[in-house]
Homo-oligomer: A and B are copies of this chain.
């Protein structure tokens, strides 16, 4: 096991009816900037619950944070926050609203352009406090310090790390009205978050391995019912809990991590606008196949423990396991090939070019470079 430091102070407030509890978490004297997405929360009752909970607080509303939130939108939110002297941010929505709110909270205490903070992490010092009400299980943003921010001018998409949310409210009932595609992308996102922390070396930590496999097996177990459209509280609660636990550091203690699939996926979002979770479902089978020599032991362990797949010939086993993984993503209703999603050869070439330009060496062994990225994308054409 590798040495590690683990620290996650986020307070999770989980369960039906929990939104009413936010008033106790935000000091009465705070001036609260509420940040929202496109308006679906006005239809499912979440907006009303938040407003009701904060009826004694001074609030300002910022609407219109888009999927794959852009710094262009965030700049406007920071302007509003500074103009109204808000000193607390409450993000209400999916991972995009939460991610944007991390940069908004950081931008509140930064004089320059928020994009500086994304490009140059050392400039980041501090955020104003913020909390979240998450309505879409997927990114895990509700219990980590990370965000992914896009720039619509440059068609770039980068990670940004700030402080943890003070608290996050997870009410599974808020997920009941999610469209099928968003649920599918959330399930894929959760699954691949674990794979990035798990599908690396063997024998680093038997406990972390089992915890990761627990989330993978649980997602596999509940996905058919969720995909069918069942509205089952316990299933949605399990989905929500799994998504949060998949990217809060709980499964990453002392083990290597990969994240090559994510960085390739980010480019597919930046260049083609494909939803984040969907890009991961497309790319992961390619990463597994192309990197199979380095990941062999873990691929076999994953296949056996999560899908009950074994074969005396390793190459055949890997083929079956990669196919099963792709089949799982298909079963969610996702198209898993680039061509099915309208991605052209020129996009593959541009991603390879960007990887070469940035001199990327990704993955647990730093062996995923522009050439490997090209092979991965060609495998999933």
Contact = CB atoms under 8 A, between A and B. Distances in A.
Contact of A214 (B2, B16, B214, B238): B214
A27 interface: no
Interface in A237-252: 237-238, 241-242, 245, 250
B13 A5 contact: yes
Nearest to A204: B234
A7 interface: yes
Contact of A15 (B2, B17, B222): B2
Interface string A12-45: 1111111000000000000000000000000000
Given A1-B234, A238-B206, A241-B1, A14 B214 contact: no
A253 B210 contact: no
A205 B15 CA distance: 13
A3 interface: yes
A253 B6 CA distance: 19
Contact of A18 (B3, B7, B12, B17): B3
A254 B3 contact: no
Copies in the complex: 2
A12 B1 contact: no
25 contacts: A1-B14, A1-B233, A3-B14, A3-B15, A3-B18, A4-B12, A4-B14, A7-B9, A7-B11, A7-B12, A8-B8, A8-B9, A12-B253, A14-B254, A203-B234, A205-B237, A205-B238, A207-B214, A207-B215, A207-B218, A207-B245, A213-B214, A237-B254, A241-B253, A250-B250
Interface in A216-268: 217-218, 221-222, 233-234, 237-238, 241-242, 245, 250, 253-254
A5 B207 CA distance: 24
A211 interface: yes
A110 to B, nearest CB: 26
A210 B219 CA distance: 12
A5 B12 contact: yes
Contacts of A241: 1, 205, 207, 253-254
A5 B11 contact: yes
A153 B272 CA distance: 74
A301 to B, nearest CB: 14
A194 to B, nearest CB: 12
